[in-house]
């Protein structure tokens, strides 16, 4: 007998809002979190704009001990721990007591790479023959699972504690992995989420691949343009998103606030076969992932009301829309509403999926569809596929029941999640 | 250097690594970093690095391995200061 799974807590550290209240406001009002980044300019990046959450030191000291702060050089861990603990609190949960772990609670908290600034510092010391001066904090901050390990320690989690990694699909994958664990009865509560470091050392590789825009260094807020005719590459971002997943039984038993139900989802890969490569998606795999997600959720394509896309503001946006059209068998005016958070915050790499899942849940729970900013000049190929009215440019206040969220990543990997509004009573 | 002065320096260095403020206040030569101050053993290496900086000394691996309580730490620091 499988368990129904609901979402009972949310946390977010986003470039356009470093907590749920700010993020909700930014989403509804189309507030950009993209700014000029002097360090990127100094280091001769082609793209000198980025999305970086704003967190002051007072806030950090509420989440980390004095000792942890001393050598803390992993922005990803800072974002992940803040978002994760916020979600836990939002769910009305407390850390386990001192002596006993909470055997029924765990976490899947993903990242691409952890503590890249910490790593850089360590490498400089090492090359200067100062290995003995590294201290004890390197491993815990540079191991990929550093973020899930720290969260588990702070909360006393005694179930599965792991970090997943699947490039830009990481965040959505973490939610699905946590969902499966609860659905199969192996855990009662799982903290799902993902995080991504800020700064030149995490973003440089993308700049070097020429996948980031270099046309908006003077107009940062206009830089990230999903679905626009003038989209010219993504804007790098960073941050973290976190969601508390829980069995419906547990949520009802403790009278928790329920944001939404996870009906199902799917994870797959195009195997880098056909049109799929390390960096390009195999469209058949994407379409299959979307169709299989609907099948797993036991809903018809006609029931989908809102899509939160991956839509990065690259040449692949058109292909993504084509894939949705094909998978759902819907186009023109019949197409669901679709939006992309990336117009406001850029592409937060490993954190993108989880921040966007938080945005998806907020929309579903509160009955709004946030505006797509920077696509006033809709791409003509997209306009041929779906009616422009289905791509809201202003916030729509509208109750709806079914939202589908998808994320796609390097390595030709795909993740798709089906969410339903939860009606109490 | 007076042993009391060195003990108070050790106390200052150890402070951020322990949650047990009472045990820290009662620090003496017999105090163990791990059993009395309940310091995470992984942090002993950080304490050694902080002491090196504080006293301007360099502590070798063999000496480091001995520094589990205040007395042995004192002995190592005194020996290293004498070598200077």
Residue pLDDT, tens place only, A202-218: 999 999 999 999 999 99
Helices A170-183, A352-366: inter-axial angle, 10-degree rounding? 60
Residue A232 pLDDT > 80: yes
Between A70, A133, A136, which is nearest B42 by CB?
A: A136
Interface of B with A (CB under 8 A): 16-17, 42-43, 45-46, 49
Region B28-55 average pLDDT: 95
Owner of token pair 């004095």: A66
Tell me if ipTM is over 0.95: no
Residue in B16, B50, B51 to test binding to A, most A beta-carbons within 10 Å: B16
CB pairs under 8 A between A and B: 15
Query: Do A135 and B45 lie within an 8 Å CB cutoff?
Result: yes
Instruction: For residue A73, give the nearest of A116, A125, A13 by alpha carbon.
Output: A116
Superfamily designation of domain A264-421: Thiolase/Chalcone synthase (3.40.47.10)
**Tokens, residue A318:** 């058109």
On the CB side of A145, CA atoms within 13 Å amount to 10
Q: Domain limits at B56?
A: 3-83
| CATH code of the domain containing B24 | 1.10.1200.10
pLDDT band at A296 (very low <50, low <70, confident <90, very high): very high
Distance between CA atoms of A61 and A56, rounded to whole angstroms? 9
Distance between CA atoms of B23 and A3, rounded to whole angstroms? 48
pLDDT band at A321 (very low <50, low <70, confident <90, very high): very high
| A236 alpha carbon, distance to own chain's centre | 13
**Number of independent structural domains in chain B:** 1
In this structure, the dihedral spanned by the alpha carbons of residues A308, A311, A317 and A322, taken in order and rounded to 10 degrees, is -20
Instruction: For residue A229, give the nearest of A125, A108, A384 by alpha carbon.
Output: A384
Distances (CA, A) of A13 to A16, A87, A314, A362: 8, 11, 24, 14
Region B22-48 average pLDDT: 95
The Cα of B72 is separated from the nearest Cα of chain A by a number of Å equal to 20
Which chain A residues touch B45 with a CB distance below 8 Å? 135-136
pLDDT (0 to 100) of residue B52: 96
Distance between CA atoms of A244 and A87, rounded to whole angstroms? 6
In this structure, the dihedral spanned by the alpha carbons of residues A291, A293, A295 and A298, taken in order and rounded to 10 degrees, is -140
Residue extents of the structural domains in chain A: 5-253, 264-421
Residues contacting A219, CB < 8 A, separation 6+? none
Distance between CA atoms of A347 and A341, rounded to whole angstroms? 9
pLDDT (0 to 100) of residue A425: 54
3-state DSSP of A27-56 = HHHCCCCEEECHHHHHCCCCCCEEECCCCC
Taking a C-beta distance cutoff of 8 angstroms, is the pair A382, A389 a contact? no
Helix residue ranges, H only, A258-372: 283-297, 316-328, 342-345, 352-366
Instruction: For residue A395, give the nearest of A306, A330, A302 by alpha carbon.
Output: A306
Between A67, A132, A133, which is nearest B17 by CB?
A: A67
Q: What is the CATH number of domain A5-253?
A: 3.40.47.10
Which chain A residues touch B46 with a CB distance below 8 Å? 135-137
* Prediction pTM value: 0.96
């Amino acid at each position: 007998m499988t368990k129904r799974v609901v979402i009972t807590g949310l946390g977010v550290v986003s470039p356009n809002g470093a907590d749920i209240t700010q993020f909700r406001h930014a989403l509804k009002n189309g507030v950009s979190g993209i700014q000029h980044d002097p360090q990127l300019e100094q280091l001769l990046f082609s793209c000198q704009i980025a999305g970086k959450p704003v967190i002051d030191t007072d806030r950090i000291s509420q989440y980390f001990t004095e000792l942890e702060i001393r050598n803390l050089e992993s922005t990803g861990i800072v974002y992940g721990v803040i978002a994760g603990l916020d979600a836990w609190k939002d769910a009305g949960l407390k850390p386990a007591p001192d002596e006993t772990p909470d055997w029924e609670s765990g976490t899947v908290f993903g990242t691409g790479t952890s503590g890249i600034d910490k790593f850089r510092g360590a490498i400089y010391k090492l090359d200067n023959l100062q290995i003995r001066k590294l201290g004890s904090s390197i491993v815990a901050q540079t191991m990929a699972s550093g973020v899930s390990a720290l969260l588990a320690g702070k909360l006393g989690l005694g179930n599965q504690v792991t970090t997943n990694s699947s490039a830009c699909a990481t965040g959505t994958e973490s939610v699905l992995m946590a969902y499966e664990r609860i659905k199969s009865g192996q855990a009662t509560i799982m903290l799902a989420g993902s995080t991504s470091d800020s700064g030149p050392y995490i973003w440089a590789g993308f700049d070097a691949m020429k996948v980031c825009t270099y046309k908006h260094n003077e107009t940062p807020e206009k830089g990230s343009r999903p679905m626009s005719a003038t989209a010219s590459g993504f804007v790098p971002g960073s941050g973290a998103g976190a969601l508390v997943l829980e069995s419906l039984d547990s949520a009802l038993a403790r009278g928790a606030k329920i944001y939404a139900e996870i009906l199902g989802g799917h994870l797959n890969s195009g195997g880098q076969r056909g049109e799929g490569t390390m960096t390009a998606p195999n469209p058949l795999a994407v379409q299959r992932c979307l169709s299989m997600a609907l099948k797993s959720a036991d809903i018809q394509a006609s029931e989908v009301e809102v899509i939160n896309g991956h839509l990065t503001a690259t040449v692949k946006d058109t292909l993504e829309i084509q894939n949705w059209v094909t998978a759902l068998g819907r186009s023109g005016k019949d197409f669901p509403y679709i939006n992309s958070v990336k117009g406001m915050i850029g592409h937060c790499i490993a954190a993108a999926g989880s921040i966007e899942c938080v945005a998806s849940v907020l929309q579903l729970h509160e009955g709004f569809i946030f505006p797509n900013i920077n696509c006033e000049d809709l791409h003509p190929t997209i306009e041929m596929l779906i009616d422009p009215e289905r791509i809201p440019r202003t916030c729509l206040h509208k109750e709806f029941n079914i939202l589908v969220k998808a994320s796609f990543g390097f390595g030709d990997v795909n993740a798709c999640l089906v969410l339903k509004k939860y009606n109490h009573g | 250097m007076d042993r009391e002065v060195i003990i108070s320096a050790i106390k200052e260095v150890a402070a951020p690594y322990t949650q047990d403020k009472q045990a820290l206040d009662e620090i003496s030569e017999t105090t163990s970093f791990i059993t009395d101050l309940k310091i995470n053993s992984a942090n002993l290496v950080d304490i050694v690095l902080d002491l090196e900086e504080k006293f301007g000394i360099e502590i070798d691996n063999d000496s480091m391995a001995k520094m589990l309580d205040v007395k042995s730490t004192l002995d190592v620091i005194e020996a290293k200061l004498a070598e200077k």
